[in-house]
Amino acid sequence: MKQVKMGAQTLLYPMPAVLVGAMVNGKANFMTAAWCGIAASTPPAISVALRRARYTFEGVEVSGAFSINVPSADQARIVDYCGIYSGHRQDKSDIFQVEFGSLKTAPLIAECPIKHECKVIHTLDLNSHVLIVGEIMETFMNADCLSDGKPDPAKIDPLIYSTGTQQYHRLGEAVGKAFSMGKK
Amino acid sequence: MKQVKMGAQTLLYPMPAVLVGAMVNGKANFMTAAWCGIAASTPPAISVALRRARYTFEGVEVSGAFSINVPSADQARIVDYCGIYSGHRQDKSDIFQVEFGSLKTAPLIAECPIKHECKVIHTLDLNSHVLIVGEIMETFMNADCLSDGKPDPAKIDPLIYSTGTQQYHRLGEAVGKAFSMGKK
């Protein structure tokens, strides 16, 4: 196999395209982020990389709380909108149906299949970005994305961001069962 | 939309299923991880959550280096194998074609479309897991996964892990162009 040296590049497949929510200057704001991952199970934690200049960052820093909203593929257009237009210039407080759980500073997007209320537990300065690590305090799901009470990827129909081509994709065909197909 | 309170859960869609490589006791070892995300652009950084008990963790801690190998969907079986069998009991040093770049303690999997050599720059204790943040020192790609010198998701054919159903999936149909379809 011929290998090509690419230089150090932020290539990871797949990536999500989540909507990070925060209250900024008294209003809900949402930005799109692909640099998001689960960080721990006990307590459940999630990380997201934000640039300091982001409007959302201001809200996360002041309130110590944020939301992670996992969109479905049919929300691609509004997700992209939230990635293009900054809250510095564009009021995004009324583009979604906003709800709250216990954290009144973590605005949740009702339309998204999955939404997490998060409390900041660590911030890690990584120069270009600050890696925000939040404890997931509560997870809400749309009832119609569950099968037998469990999250159903087919119903969630998650939005996938592909770096390089900068395309959004749907989830494709199943190729096998984890913790099973690799057994000796 | 009816909302269901799920308790705090580590639900994120999509997730990758990468192979984390490290040298442990003089041999290359690889484990599967879904809790991985890009953390910064300058310098390029990537994070992965590891349990302290993992054999791979030992190698990362001692050497301060690791690799992130992004597999393709046709590698699902061997990826799953690396997630089921621990290096504590199973020698996984010869199941891949292992190559090295400049970091002699970051074993790279030649068969994987994308591989990153990483140097640990932060470790964050999150109780159940340690979040390892690595600076990406170099990225290698298989030449046949490039189109016009750029990463091509269709050729990479990335492996997607869906939590909940614990299924591996392929990338599905394109739904639109990022930084474009959401323009006013």
For A20-79, write each residue's pLDDT tens digit: 999 999 999 999 999 999 999 999 999 999 999 999 999 999 999 999 999 999 999 999
Q: Which token pair is B110?
A: 């030649």
The per-residue pLDDT for A173 is 97
List b or e across B30-53, with b for residues whose CB sees 16 or more CB atoms inside 10 angstroms: bbbbbbbbbbbbeebbbbbbbeee
Q: What percent of chain B has pLDDT over 90?
A: 99
Report the DSSP pairing between strands B65-70 and B18-24: antiparallel
Contacts of B123 in chain A (CB under 8 A): none
Q: Per-residue pLDDT for A10 more than 90?
A: yes
Cα–Cα distance, B44 to A72 (Å, whole number): 28
The per-residue pLDDT for A1 is 79
Distances in Å between the Cα of B139 and the Cα atoms of A29, B96, B169 are 35, 18, 24
Burial (CB count <10 Å: 0-12, 13-18, 19+), residue A89: exposed
| Upstream peptide bond of A43 is cis (omega within 30 degrees of 0) | yes
CA distance B24 to chain A (A): 22
Q: Which token pair is A79?
A: 């997700």
CA distance B49 to chain A (A): 5
pTM value surpassing 0.80: yes
Q: Considering only the beta carbons, identify the residue of B84, B139, B153 that sits closest to A165.
A: B153
CA distance A77 to chain B (A): 5
Tell whether B16 is within 8 A of chain A (Cβ): yes
B64 Rama sector, left if φ>0, alpha if ψ -120 to 50, beta otherwise: left
Best of A2, A12, A114 to mutate (most B CBs within 10 Å, chain B): A12
Contacts of A44 in chain B (CB under 8 A): 8-10
CB contact under 8 A, B44 and A9: yes
Residue B1 binned pLDDT confidence (cut-offs 50, 70, 90): confident
Cα–Cα distance, A119 to B40 (Å, whole number): 21
Cα–Cα distance, A21 to A70 (Å, whole number): 11
Mean pLDDT taken over chain B: 97
Tell whether A1 is within 8 A of chain B (Cβ): yes
Tell whether B49 is within 8 A of chain A (Cβ): yes
What does the pLDDT look like over B123-172, one tens digit per residue?
999 999 999 999 999 999 999 999 999 999 999 999 999 999 999 999 99
Residue A1 vs residue A13, higher pLDDT: A13
Q: Which token pair is A156?
A: 């969630």
DSSP H stretches of helix in A5-94: 55-63, 76-84
**B positions 118-157 inside 8 Å of A (CB):** 121-122, 124, 126-129, 131, 133, 135-144, 146, 150-153, 156
DSSP letter (8 states) at residue A179: T
Cα–Cα distance, B158 to A82 (Å, whole number): 26
ipTM, interface predicted TM-score of the complex: 0.97
Cα–Cα distance, B57 to B62 (Å, whole number): 9
- CB B61: neighbour CB atoms within 10 A? 17
> Residue A150 in 3-state DSSP?
strand
Distances in Å between the Cα of B149 and the Cα atoms of A164, B141, B144 are 10, 10, 10
DSSP H stretches of helix in chain A: 55-63, 76-84, 153-156
Best of B9, B72, B177 to mutate (most A CBs within 10 Å, chain A): B9
CB-based contacts of A144, cutoff 8 Å, min separation 6: A155, B1, B2
